[in-house]
Structure formats: structure tokens, C-alpha cells
Amino acid sequence: MLQLQDRFDCNINILLWSCWCAEHFDPIPEPVIAKAIDITSGWNAKVTTKLRQVRRYMKTPDAGITSTDIADLRANVKQVELDAEMVEQRLLQDLAASALTPTRDDSEDSIRTRARQNLSGYSKWGGASQKKGFDAALLHQLIGNILGPTIVGPSIIDDGGQGTPR
């Protein structure tokens, strides 16, 4: 998931939200994906991303400052970053409740299909799918990580379609 964030500028909260929506709502239409990007982009750019940069900077501090000197401060910044992420998640949850239609089909196949549709739509609208090195298999792997592997008979099949006997 971090590769999607760091290499392809994906918003992790929108990725997670897209999978959550797949479990509870019909597929996210493109205008709602665009609205999700719009309502989170300012908060993310001005708050969450800056907190993440500060926290990551503290991992490798300047000469003369030891990591033990800033460990507590870094932990506090990490908590504030998580709190900022939760604000973003609430914004997305409110958007889903107001703009999406609850699903009537909660079968595993339908949820996974909606998750693929939602993530594909987001990667298109967010611009990730146009970036060099982007592979939709990253999205399929994410679905497997979030929703778990698909169980089919004696094998477990991930969303990449590769069967792995267990």
C-alpha cells in the first residue's frame, strides 16, 4: 500500500475507503470518486502529508540530535498524523453515506468486483494508472490484503488470479 502512496501518489484513505464502500455500497460512480479526491486533497496536502514528512524526517535527524532525544516527540507526531487520517476517513464516510446507494448484493464475488471497479476508477481519476510503472496487480494485491484471499475449494486464490494450494 505504501508503494501506491509513495510512488503513485495514491491517497491511502481513499484506497481503504474504496474497499470499504465495496462491502456496503454499489460501485462508486466517477463523479463521487472525483468528489472524494477533491474533499481530501486540501486536508491531505496541508495537514496529513506535512505531518508524515515531519515524522519521517525525525526518523533520520540532523547530526547532534539522537533518536532517543526525539523518540517521544516522534511518537506524538505519529499519533497526530493518525488523528488527521481519521478526520479524512470521516469526511469520506460522510460522502459515502450521502452520495452512494447501499448494495443489495453482499456476496464475496460482488464485493471483490466492486472493489476492483472502485480502485480502478480511483487510479484513473487520481492519475496513478497513467504513471510509469503502475500495474493494476498492485490494486488486486491490495484487495487481497484488505478483504483476504478468495477461498475456492482446496485452493486459496488471490485477486491476481494465481492459485496457491494450502
Angle CA 61–64–66, to nearest 5 = 55
pLDDT band, very low/low/confident/very high, at 67 (cuts 50, 70, 90)? low
In angstroms, the CA 88 to CA 81 distance is 11
Q: What is the pTM of this model?
A: 0.78
pLDDT, one tens digit per residue, over 92-124 is: 999 999 999 999 999 999 999 999 999 989 888
Domain residues for the domain of 98 are: 2-165
**Predicted pLDDT at 104:** 95
Give phi and psi for 27, each to the nearest 5: -55, 145
pLDDT, one tens digit per residue, over 52-61 is: 999 988 887 6
Query: Number of folded domains in the chain?
Result: 1
Q: Which three cell numbers stand for residue 88?
A: 479524512
pLDDT band, very low/low/confident/very high, at 152 (cuts 50, 70, 90)? very low
